[in-house]
Chains A and B, each alone.
Chain A
Amino acid sequence: MRTFLLTLALFVSALAAAQVPSVTVENAKGEAFDTEALLEDGTPMIISFWSTSCKPCIRELDAVYDALPDWLEEADFRVVAVSTDDSRLLAKAKSFAEGRGWGEDFVLLFDKNQDFMRAMNVSVVPHVFVVDAKGKIVYSHTSYVPGNEIELFEAIKKSSK
């Protein structure tokens, strides 16, 4: 057990800033989309993992959607909403996002077998990340209660400076 704990300590000390891994998901058209392509734009982004059956996820994305016009006056960034719905709800998730107006302002991605979710080590949704212009994850938060978006905005403002 001592050996295990020592190596675990070594492992933790080796943690470096995580990045956005290359995983194939779907875009709104149903085409294959490599998540590495998100970095090509060179601007910071919020990546939010959500699902149609997750009420707090929807509240968080609605809060971001409502605040977005004001936020964009202070910082340059994109919002990427990643649906973790299975193929059963894939079509529904697309209609759902459209019915909430998210398609106009967010980059919509669909991770139907949760490959991107697993690669980002997201255990439960909602889970939100802030990624800087170089692709480094600089902020991350799990769960949502109204008001959490204030902290999220502070993080994206800091990363876009």
Chain B
Amino acid sequence: MKRTILLLVSAAFACISLSAQEGGYVTGSFETTDHFYFDDEKTGAMSPEDRFGSNNYLKLDYYNGKFTAGIQMEGYLPATVGYPSELSGINLSNIYATWKDDDFSVTAGTFYDQFGSGLLFRSWEDRALGLNNAVMGARFTYNYKDVVAFKALWGLPRFGMGVFTNNTKNPLTVTNTETQVRGADLSFALSNLLGWNSTYLALEGSVLSKYQPISIDLIDEGGKPNTFGYSARANFESEGFFAKAEWVGAGDKYYSNPDISSGEWYLKKKGNAQLLELGYNGRGLGVTLTGRRLEWMDSKIISGNSSTSNMMNYIPAMCTQYTYMLTTHHPYNAQTGNIIGSFINPGEVGGQIDAFYNFRRGTKLGGKRGMRVHANFSTYYTIAEEGTAKPGNLLFRDFSLDVERQWTKQFKMLFLYSLQQYNESYGANPDYMTQNIFVADLLYKWTSTFSTRLELQYLQTKQDKKDWMAALLEVNFAPHWSIFASDMFNHGSTKVHYYNAGVSYAKSRTRVALGYGRYKAGYICSGGVCRNIPAYTGANLTVTTSF
């Protein structure tokens, strides 16, 4: 079977290569992440049976004028610990061909797309999460000048290893899922039609029909396999001021009824969401105010599976996504509605304000080299009463302030403070955990190519595992080498050190990184979506290259 796949891919490569010599060109990328695991009594990390995990991606694209075609192969040999379990083996996961003319385009095969902000529909790839819900089908787009943009699509969203299975004798059997999506999106730039120069105003709308097989019990209770959703949007920008509004009706959703004494096995809910963004960007100031309400907004590709990759829309946490070690212990995951025993929470309501300001060079506060300040406040609550925006229990709150200043030509400093409050019960009770986090990030350039960066971090809390401290030292030899060592220590309770060290080499489009360390159980977040991972200890190798 593998031989058949190799022959097919070889044939595709040969065709592409021959035609590339006639004027087109080929680009591609390869990425491998390999882990070797060890048991670790201190953290309770258990290595998997064969102690090895390897995620691999090979992507090739061919361009010739208005024509583009490409493939992606993925290999999980097996997948790294904590990765979605439906990803295993080697497979041709993506294959597509596109014709893009001046005012229209046609795509057949796998594609990624989204309507509006993605609340109604989004297909995308995020390798950090193991998420790839590319749609296998067809898409058509049409633009009339810069006034109208229209697209229509149909297809089967990917769940698992993709279009071509390696589980049957026929490698070309479509096995994505039985779920289908059909949708259309229209954007109408009114300001461009009317010739407004300094103001942009667009009215947009989408519709999405989804077919998803349902159980006989649900059919008996009046459930329908087809659902219909819509999104209405307005985008406005003028002289730096902007406003964006989106209203989504996501159609009927069915949930298992925790109280079957009523005689009904399922609860029927109406998915809906509202998003509003207001702000101003100009004169070194950037301010964004976001408000969002979600009610029963999860959208699964297949029902009854809780994998991170099992989603057809994009419901990210609308708050700061941190990268410093101690700031990421309890990241927020947006609540799309959940039923936990007798606790029913339809979703979340909340918002955030983000402000950035650049104190220019030569001003009193900016000094000789300027100073950058950023503040964020985010707060989210459960919905106390269905169909309303009445806030219930606090889910998450964060206030952060960071100041960045270049003191001398050599020395740059960033200081971050974050106050995070997190409800571990997803809002079932009003209790929450409070933590204060302090980070200093100090960069010193000793010469034009030799620099060091030191991170010092402290987390203070009276709850959970009490206080933590962390430090990271990075030594950089430009243009190729970088070495780092870090330790995250829970001195408040467990006394466990989470050490880590690594080296990386980068040249042109290739980067190789080798590391060894201890990782705590928790979440990996990317793009506001988080994946739970178990504790692990081990060595890791990552190679990324493109050509």
A and B together in one complex: yes
Show the binding face of A for B, using Cβ within 8 Å.
1, 3-4, 6-8, 10-19, 21-22, 28-32, 52-53, 55, 59, 85-92, 94-101, 103, 112-115, 118-124, 127, 140-143, 145-148, 150-151
Inter-chain CA distance A118–B509, complex, in Å, is 15
Q: Quick one: CB contact mask for B509-547 with A, threshold 8 Å, 1 for yes?
A: 111000000000000000110000000000000001011
A96 and B356 within 8 A (CB)? yes
- Which of B17-25, B209-217, B252-260 is found at the contact surface with chain A? B17-25
Point out the residue from A4, A31, A122, A146 that lies within 8 Å of B546, measured CB to CB: A122
Inter-chain CA distance A106–B281, complex, in Å, is 15
4 new A-B contacts, CB < 8 A, other than A87-B116, A147-B451, are A14-B18, A92-B354, A95-B287, A150-B479
B316 and A146 within 8 A (CB)? no
State which residues 498-512 of B face A: CB under 8 Å: 504, 506, 508-511
Show the binding face of B for A, using Cβ within 8 Å.
6-7, 9-11, 13-14, 16-18, 20-21, 24-29, 31, 57, 59-61, 63, 68, 100, 112-114, 116-118, 122, 124-125, 127, 143, 146, 149, 187, 189, 192, 200, 202, 235, 237, 242, 244, 277, 279, 281-282, 284-288, 290, 314, 316-318, 321-323, 354-358, 360, 370, 372, 374, 443, 445, 448-451, 476-479, 481-482, 504, 506, 508-511, 527-528, 544, 546-547
Point out the residue from B317, B477, B508 that lies within 8 Å of A140, measured CB to CB: B508
A94 and B286 within 8 A (CB)? yes
Inter-chain CA distance A85–B508, complex, in Å, is 24
Residues of A within 8 A of B27 (CB): 15, 18, 120-121
Contact sample, A vs B, 22 pairs, CB 8 Å cutoff:
A8-B13, A11-B60, A15-B20, A19-B25, A28-B281, A29-B200, A30-B200, A30-B202, A53-B323, A86-B316, A86-B527, A101-B284, A103-B281, A113-B113, A121-B28, A141-B479, A141-B508, A142-B510, A145-B479, A147-B450, A147-B479, A150-B448
A53 and B321 within 8 A (CB)? yes
Residues of B within 8 A of A55 (CB): 323
A99 and B358 within 8 A (CB)? yes
Give the distance to chain A from B306, nearest Cβ to Cβ, in Å. 22
For A120, the closest partner residue in chain B by CB is B27
Point out the residue from B189, B277, B357, B478 that lies within 8 Å of A99, measured CB to CB: B357
Residues of A within 8 A of B68 (CB): 21, 119
Inter-chain CA distance A4–B17, complex, in Å, is 13
A124 and B511 within 8 A (CB)? yes
Point out the residue from B17, B479, B508 that lies within 8 Å of A14, measured CB to CB: B17
B528 and A91 within 8 A (CB)? no
